[in-house]
Structures are given as C-alpha cells and as structure tokens.
Structure 1
Amino acid sequence: MTLAEKIIKLRKENGWSQEELADRLDITRQSVSKWESATSVPELNKIILLADLFNVTVDSLVKEDTEGYEKNDLVKKNEFRKISIDEAKEFEQFNIRKTQIIAQNVMLCIYAFIPLFLLLALRQGDIFKLSSEVSVGIGLASSFIIVSIAIRGFITAGINSTDYRFMEKQEFTLEYGIKEIYRDKLRSYRLTYSRKLSFSIILLLVSVLPLILSGIFHFSSMIALFMLTLMLLLIGGSVSQIIRTVSKYKTYQCILQEGDYSAKVRLEMMRYQKYAFIYWPIVLAIYLLWSFWTMNWGVTWLVWPVASVLFVALLGIVNLFTKNATEK
C-alpha cells in the first residue's frame, strides 16, 4: 500500500473530507488532493503531523510494504469524539455566559480603586470633612470588598468549565453540516469583530488623555484625581469589551478547530508548555532570591519584562531548530 493510499484510507476511517483534513494541517485542499493522487509527497513535518492526527507511527505510514498501521503509543489518544449541533450550541452559549462574567469582574477589578480616588479628590477639595486617614481607610475597605466580589465571580465562571475543556485541549470531529453553520457565523461576525475591537483599542489609547491633560495644564490635585478616575472608567469599559469581542471570535474558531485551535497550533502549544513549566519557576526563584537578598523591590521587578522578552527569544530559537531538524 502506497503513502497516497494510506492517506485516503486513514482519512476516510476518521470520517474526514479532504477539506477537513486540510484544515487540520493548515494547508489547502488541493495539497491533500495531490498527496492522494500521488502527484506530490508531503514534506517531513507534514508527515509527522499526519501520523499524529491519524494516531499511527511515522514508519507504518511511510513504509510502502506495510498494510496495517502501528498505533502511536507516544500520543495516547482515543477515537476523536464527535460533537453534535446541540453540544456545539451549548459550548457556544456557555462560553458567552462565562465571558460575560469574566469581563464584568475584570472591569470590577479595574474599578476597585475608584472609590479611593474619589474620596481623596473630595477630601482635597474640602467637599467631605473627613481626614485623609479616614478617606484612605474607607477607600481601601471599599476596594477590598469590590475585589472580593470580583474573585467570587471568577470562581463562579470557572465552576462548570471542565465540562467543555476537552474542546479547547483535544481533537474532535463535528457532525455533518455543523462546520458550514459555524463558518457562516464566523464569516458574518468578522466585520463586527473588527469594528468592536478597533473601537475598544482606540478607547484604550484615548483613556490616557485625561492624565496627559492634567499634566499639561497643571490641574489641582482634586481635578487630577478625577481625571485618574475617568481614565480607569475608560480602561475598564474598553478591556471588558475586548474580552467579550475576542472570546466570541475564539469560540467560533475553537468549534471549527481553526486559528489558535488548529492541530498545528495545538502541537506547538504543547511543546511551548513543556518549556514554560521549567522556565517560569526558575524566573520566579531568581526574582525572589534577588529581591530578598537586596530588598530593593523597586528594581527587582525588572526581572519580569526581561524574562518575557527572553522567553519569546527562546521560543524563536526552539522553532528555528525544530524547523531545521524537520527539513534535514
């Protein structure tokens, strides 16, 4: 049995069309058609992805004298779960509800210190006859209560998320017709997604204007605190809208297993997580050791932005070596 024949057989055993297999490999349908007609041969990295998708070893896939397939024990997979239209709709509705809760509570966290700034502003203007200590005490107590409410909201949002976590972490198949339904939804949502995201980002950039104006015109402390409050209001609204907008788009991508949820990206993320589990605990240890050794917490926080840049560089080096290894 040739490689082309094996690809056809395995694809049909999984119930995929050429287009569905192409989507999982992040290639065109024409490429799959050429492989199956034996007019072209997959590159090595695509053969590895094919073996992973079909849950067989690379050797049994490429050796033409083998008729059967050896299961790949390194990737312990069961048969892909088939998702019905009802399950897809439940996942979509659950994600929308969860996102609304998360967005609201992120906004609450950003707004948490607004009572403190307002009380201090009113105190600066002698509108409230309260001492600075009392104003700060009431403001911090209010902030603590608001953050506590937000934390409770985050916990509530994640209670039932395990029921649908497999759709974000594992491969699955869709019943006939579901992919077309959600492709139409994604296509029709793209314009709204672009508009809402653009508006929210512009609002986020504009949010710093109140502070800039207060610095340029040397406003009083009371006005400056009011400007800071306005900035937080704008930031909270824009961040909340960004979370809602992006999450809905990602939900459609997850159901379709495209973009960040494609088979290729999932495999890359699995590789990145291995390095992250080692890298970030080391960074945390360095940060704590340096901070407690010097007690200069105002400087040691620089570890985090530097570590973030180095982590991106590390992933780039890993990608480069991985690409070179597959090309040899």
Structure 2
Amino acid sequence: MAELRFDGRVAVITGGGRGLGRAHALLLASRGCKVVINDPGVSMAGDATTEGPAEALAAEIRAAGGEAIANLDSVATPEGGKAIIDAALDAYGRIDILIHSAGNVRRGSLSSLAYEDFTAVLDVHLKGAYHVVREAFPHMMAQGYGRIVLTSSINGLYGKADNVTYSLCKAGFMGLSNTAAIEGQHANVRSNLIVPAAVTRMSEGIDTSKFPPMEPEMVAPMVAYLCHEDCTATGEMYVAMGGRLGRAWVAENAGVYRSEWSLESVAGEFAEIRDGGATLAFPPVPDGQLDHLLHGFAMIREGVA
C-alpha cells in the first residue's frame, strides 16, 4: 500500500503536548500534516504549572522539518475553544482534523466526590470537547471536509469505581460524536471515538508493573487512520490497546412484544426481555435512531411475540 499522507491538511490536537496527544501529533506531522498543539501544560488535576509541553513539541516537530505551532488556551471555556480553532485558521487558513485528547483526573466515589472536582473534570473533558467541536464544525462543513476524533475510554464504556466524572464524560462523547457524524455525513465530515488504553501520566496511582507494552505510540496509527481522507468510518468507536485494535458498538436484543403489559407479566417474562431474540445494532449513520424506531414499529404492526 502507498504511504498514507496528510500533505496540505491542518490538525488541531487538544492535550497534544504529552501522552496520547503527543504521539498523534508526531505521527501526523511526520506524514506532512500541519499541527496545532494545544496544551496549557497543567498538572493531571488541571492545576497550573510552569511546564511548556506544547512549545517544546512544536519546536521538536519544526526541527525535524515539519510544521507546527503551540497554543496554550484552555478547552474548558467557550472562549478558549474558539481561540484554539482560531489559532489554526490564523496560522494555516483552515482546519481539517480535530483530535480532542485533553483531559484531567480528579478521582472520587459517588459518595465522596466534591462538586468542585466534578466540575473541573466536566469542564475539560465533556464541555471541552463541545467547545472545540462547536467551533471547528462550521468550518469543516463549509469546506466540505473534516475529520473529528474524540478520545473516549473503557471507563466510559464500562464505568469505573472512584472515577465517576471521568466515566460520565467519556460516555457522553458518544452522543456528541454521533451527532457530528449524522449532521456531517453529506459534507464529508466524519466523526469517531477512539477508546484507548495506554500508560501515560493518567496512569499515576495505578500499578502498571505487570502490564504488557502499552505505549501511546501504539494507539496513534488507529487515530491517524480515522483522520485520513481515505477513511469512510463515521459514528463509530474503535478500541486500541497494546497492539489490539477493534470496534465497539451499542447493541440491544430483539426483546419481546406484547400489546399490553402488567407489572406481573414483565416479571414473568423478564428473562426473555433481558436476553431473548437476535442481537441488534443500529449504526448512528445514516440514521440509527430512526432505524431503531422503525424496527419497533414493525414489531408492533406484526404483533411479534
């Protein structure tokens, strides 16, 4: 296969100075992409530091012959989101690719997490994703091209004790990405989720001594492909962990139809309601929610028992 390149393309990568974002930036830049590295250089909890990872990485890319600029704005506010996208427009005149990799962690259980910590994580992850997607999306639609990749998590798919806000936000990305995929489908604007597992700063406090190799660089090729013009996937989720790549999706079972239900009949048929019938999956694009409704309507019309 010919080398896949990004010549002439412009990417914005939030949280791009370290970890997964850094790996994505280096790979895209090595294939000709102009990269805006957004990273204010905060701690894992989101507190200010004197570090400058965005500037350092941008300089490294330029020294290697690539094109990159640093941006230090925060995704946590609408103004920051606009400034991040404007940085790409001002420097390069367009935005083709948006990877939202910015994140912070403030762990705590449902019973103990402080509202301040809840809000701090919500602002960066979920609101941050909206702030940059909202600003980038109209430009992508107008130019008839765009690729969006939001960084979800296995915590978003399956939940995680003592990490409630992180899990909530990562699950929320599904609705945002699917909506972008649906609204962008006729303008060649595609949006997907990456569900990565890698050893990064976010792994602090976790015993990773028995983990297999799980470097951020092992995730980057999947993300880069989702960003490429050849990729037709949209409204989908892809897992990437230590060399394993695969697809994840929402599914439901066919269930049971009755024209009337009572509390007792639900109880009596709960096993069949829970597990009965074929497995169904309705891809978000072109219109999964409508397909879901139409399938239910068909069961009602046919009186399927």
What is the TM-score with the length of structure 1 in the denominator? 0.25
| Structure that is richer in strand per residue | 2
Larger Rg: 1
If asked which structure has higher relative contact order (CA below 8 Å, sep 6+), I would say 1
| Structure that is richer in helix per residue | 1
What is the TM-score with the length of structure 2 in the denominator? 0.26
